[in-house]
Amino acid sequence: MYGTQRWRERRNAERNLVRGRIPGDPGERDALRRLVADRRRRLESRPWLFAALVLALAVPPVLWALEGLWSTALLMLVFGIAFGSWATCERRRNRSRLRFLDRALTAAADAATRTGTLGHDTGPRLVLTRRTG
């Protein structure tokens, strides 16, 4: 696949990832599986980077407090807590979404292997639900 076709495949996989949908087309499912695996690998590959962000948000208020700039230190501390909380929630939400899609794609692949030649499912269905909030 080259050029436009690969771009469309990636765009459709991105849309399905954002919406949490499992496509019916096996080619689109494979593209989504590759995208989910790539995103999970990138999210889990550098845990120290998130710790560095938290440290970068915590150091300036301490330095300003040591200099006696209490209002600036307090304002930066409030901003750091708010931004750090938001980043933590987003990271958790993205990990949850990727884990959900990975399980759903695995279940879809298992269902495809259980399907007989007439298209009837021979095994029990796995129903996945995603928490929201």
Q: pTM to 2 decimals?
A: 0.67
pLDDT in tens, 6-41: 777 778 788 877 777 787 777 888 888 888 888 889
Q: What angle do CA 51, 65, 88 make, to 5 degrees?
A: 25
CB contact set of 121 (below 8 Å; sequence gap of 6+): 111, 114, 115
Residue position matching structure tokens 């695995």: 106
Angle at 40 between CA 59 and CA 16, to 5 degrees: 120
Q: What is the pLDDT of residue 63?
A: 93
Mean pLDDT, rounded, of the chain:
79
